């Protein structure tokens, strides 16, 4: 008589434990969907662009793998003296470089954006070395797996293209938050309602000027960082031409 209720109790509590696990999983999925929807509402351009960048990176990586399976091998070594047709393009290496840059740049930009929610100044300073490192590793990928025979002039173009692309990615993912902070700080300086229209026009120009100044300083620091990394760890062929120094030496 005493042992029978114990067995019944164990049998009765087995089913609720399983149902609690299912409910917990459902709640986690609901919370994930809610957080994703809130993130899209908060910053639709950044969220959609990040998702599109990840999908684009995955597609290009898949295409690169298909090219490698079809028999195209990665070329490496001394690029300036490599044999082959200069106009031929290794499609697999091209997709590989694009996939790496898209995935790494969007990932780093999202990380910087998440850090900026709590530590905006730290995120601003951290974004410079992280972007410079991504650009440098992309140049390393181009050196180890070149889409075509690359010369010093082409590496100069590659450095510029990587820099412009990283600036574009960071502006899409992190630019809105910076713009909102600047707009708040500038609009707080409005004095009275009589000068509201003139102050608004002045505020718009001030915000645009400050944004252009910040983008210029940020891109200069990032480009300087990727140049120093290239000079330190890569051969001279990967270092772009510097017109100012060449003019002084001449």
Q: What is the pLDDT of residue 227?
A: 94
6, part of any domain: no
Nearest 5°: the CA angle 64, 66, 70 is: 115
Average of per-residue pLDDT across 2-17: 49
Residue 77 has pLDDT above 70, yes or no: no
Q: How confident is the model at residue 116 (pLDDT cuts 50, 70, 90)?
A: confident
What is the signed CA dihedral for 200, 201, 203, 208, rounded to 10 degrees? 140
Q: What is the pLDDT of residue 174?
A: 84
Q: Closest Cα partner for 53 from 169, 161, 166?
A: 169
Give the list of residues 6+ apart from residue 170 with CB closer than 8 angstroms, or none. Answer: 105, 109, 112, 127, 131, 218
Average of per-residue pLDDT across 136-164: 92
116, part of any domain: yes
DSSP 84: S
> By residue range, what is the domain housing residue 205?
23-73+89-189+196-243
More confident residue, 196 or 112: 112
36, part of any domain: yes
200, part of any domain: yes
More confident residue, 184 or 224: 224
Cβ-based neighbour number of residue 132 at 10 Å: 21
Number of domain units in the chain: 1
Angle between the 44-69 and 152-187 helix axes, to the nearest 10 degrees? Answer: 160
Average of per-residue pLDDT across 32-51: 69
Query: Contact 152/241 with Cβ under 8 angstroms?
Result: yes
174, part of any domain: yes
Average of per-residue pLDDT across 33-60: 72
Residue carrying structure tokens 């004095």 = 191
Q: What is the pLDDT of residue 118?
A: 85
Q: What is the pLDDT of residue 74?
A: 45
DSSP 55: H
What is the signed CA dihedral for 13, 19, 23, 28, rounded to 10 degrees? 90
Q: Closest Cα partner for 59 from 109, 95, 108?
A: 95
148, part of any domain: yes
Query: Contact 125/98 with Cβ under 8 angstroms?
Result: no
Query: Contact 135/226 with Cβ under 8 angstroms?
Result: yes
Q: What is the pTM of this model?
A: 0.72
Average of per-residue pLDDT across 106-126: 87
96, part of any domain: yes
9, part of any domain: no
Q: What is the pLDDT of residue 75?
A: 46
Angle between the 152-187 and 91-116 helix axes, to the nearest 10 degrees? Answer: 20
Measured CA to CA, the distance from residue 84 to residue 95 in angstroms comes to: 20
Q: What is the pLDDT of residue 91?
A: 85
């Amino acid at each position: 008589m005493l042992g029978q209720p114990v067995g019944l109790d164990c049998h009765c509590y087995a089913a609720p434990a399983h149902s609690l696990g299912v409910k917990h999983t459902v709640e986690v999925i609901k919370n994930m969907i809610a957080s994703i929807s809130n993130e899209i509402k908060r910053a639709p351009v950044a969220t959609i662009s990040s998702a599109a960048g990840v999908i684009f990176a995955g597609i290009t990586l898949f295409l690169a793998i298909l090219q490698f399976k079809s028999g195209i091998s990665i070329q490496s070594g001394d690029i300036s003296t490599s044999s082959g047709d200069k106009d031929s393009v290794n499609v697999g290496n091209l997709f590989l470089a694009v996939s790496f840059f898209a995935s790494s740049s969007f990932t780093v930009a999202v990380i910087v954006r998440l850090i900026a929610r709590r530590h905006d100044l730290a995120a601003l300073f951290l974004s410079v070395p992280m972007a410079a490192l991504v650009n440098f590793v992309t140049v390393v990928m181009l050196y180890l797996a070149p889409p075509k025979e690359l010369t010093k002039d082409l590496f100069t173009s590659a450095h510029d293209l990587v820099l412009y692309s990283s600036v574009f990615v960071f502006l899409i993912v992190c630019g809105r938050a910076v713009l909102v902070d600047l707009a708040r700080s500038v609009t707080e300086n409005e004095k009275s309602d009589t000068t509201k229209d003139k102050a608004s026009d002045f505020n718009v120009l001030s915000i645009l000027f400050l944004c252009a100044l910040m983008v210029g300083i940020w891109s200069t620091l990032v480009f300087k960082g990727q140049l120093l990394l290239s000079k330190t760890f890569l051969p001279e062929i990967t270092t772009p031409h510097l017109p100012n120094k060449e003019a002084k030496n001449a």
